[in-house]
Amino acid sequence: MEFTSHPCNVGYKEAMAVPVYKGRFGQAQAERLLWRAGFGPRPGEAKRLAAKGLRGAVHSLTRPAQQILVGPAPVDDKQRPIAPGDAFGHDHLWFLDRMVRSTAPLVERMTLVWHDWFATSNQGVGSQPLMLAQNELFRRYALGSFSELLLDVTKDPAMLVWLNGNQNTNRSPNENYARELMELFTIGADRPGGYTETDVREQARALTGWRGQKKDDTGQTFVYDTRLHDSGSKSVFGRTGNFDWQDTCRLCLSHPLHASFVVRKLWSYFVPTAPGATTAAALERLYRANFQVRPVVEAILEHPDLYRGPRMVKPPSVYAAGLLRARGLGIDTIAWTRLGDAAGQRLFYPPNVAGWDETRWLDTATFRGRWYLAATALRPALDRPDAAPANPAKLVSRAIAYWGAPSVSPPTRTVLARFAADALKEAQAPDVENALRQLVAVSPDLQTC
């Protein structure tokens, strides 16, 4: 038998139909897990993770010890500490640094997932402190309760500003958050049996009452003012009552299409193909047990599709953080902000409320940004390798080892060796090795996982 039932601490019966990968769990599989559920391995980490077996490896990521940041603190180009609360671009550096140095990479990866799921941009918020506070909110609920996360996001100051919740009053209801709450956060658009325009209007009425007040020089705080709340009866999803902002969340959580939306969207961050009907149904039952994210993510990370399915393109921030982790380097230049933008992912600046378009991670524009991300990670070693051998195969092996010896396919090795052989006719071995390091980093094997 290739599949077995999925014993999980929460909802064992509900998880019984979720398949579990029973194939070989070696270094290649551990590498994929570390990239899909984090930011890639540090040197030797994939081998150590593989020794734990699938269940032990997954649980080491989903149930980590207290998170700490290991390595040098981030600095700017002048070696000054970064100032994420006010300096331009330093918010991006701050989040990227956590991806690089965290001992709990899945927590940071889920923080990135929620940042994309509840996409909020400083372009509209206009306050780095509020954006950073929202980021900490996502981190706090990384693998916790989706229902509690939703309640806190709904009253989060950055979200209130971003989707005009602070301008939603009984005299002038604003529908922005009500619409996105259902379309992008909890139910999904254009689904039979989903929500109607009437539901949007009624949810907007229920969400009225929040207003901002000046706190201090660091930004705004928000209060719930009952005088601004519409206390009349509302009808949402066929139910009627004097609903308020908390009720809007609970109504969405109890919607028949909510569990399927959450499961499929969570799945898409880890596996590029849609789940089978049996898997999806089992994951939905697991989620509905208590709206907990951890058991669902654990089941996804142990699923055969994650290990047997096609490769995924790494998001730019994941790719950049992985290069730095592989090299044991830290953040020491603000260039990472500009390059993240060029590669298609400036943290704290998703393009719109729907988040980033993952179909655009690799195109003719964003690939150039990825090339320079790799070149910047390579920059500290451009003093030319010592005693580089004038042997194509050895140069290729050394270039791969430079990035922590990741798994590289035979076709990629063949192309790299051919390049090395041709380049050695015109250039010295140390320069060829540096070029190979760049080519390894931008190869399909390292761009995808």
pLDDT at 435: 95
**DSSP labels, 388-439:** --S-HHHHHHHHHHHTT-----HHHHHHHHHHHHHHTTTS-HHHHHHHHHHH
Query: What is the tens place of the pLDDT at every residue in 398-414?
Result: 999 999 999 999 999 99
Please state, for a pLDDT cut of 90, what percent of the chain lies above it.
89
Query: What is the tens place of the pLDDT at every residue in 90-127?
Result: 999 999 999 999 999 999 999 999 999 999 999 999 99
Terminal alpha carbon distance of the chain = 26
Mutual angle of helices 105-117 and 90-101, in 10-degree steps: 140
Query: What is the tens place of the pLDDT at every residue in 296-328?
Result: 999 999 999 999 999 999 999 999 999 999 999
Query: What is the tens place of the pLDDT at every residue in 28-85?
Result: 999 999 999 999 999 999 999 999 999 999 999 999 988 899 999 999 999 999 999 9
Kindly tell me if the per-residue pLDDT of 6 is higher than 50: no
Query: What is the tens place of the pLDDT at every residue in 11-27?
Result: 444 445 899 999 999 99
Domain boundaries, the chain: 90-292, 385-447
DSSP state, residue 315: P
Query: Helix, strand, or coil here: 160?
Result: helix
pLDDT at 11: 47
Q: What is the mean pLDDT of residues 176-196?
A: 97
pLDDT at 169: 95
Q: What is the mean pLDDT of the chain?
A: 93
Query: What is the tens place of the pLDDT at every residue in 195-208?
Result: 999 999 999 999 99
Q: Which helix (H) or strand (E) holds 23?
A: none
Q: What is the mean pLDDT of residues 361-368?
A: 92
Is residue 80 exposed (0-12), middle (13-18) or buried (19+ Cβ within 10 Å)? exposed
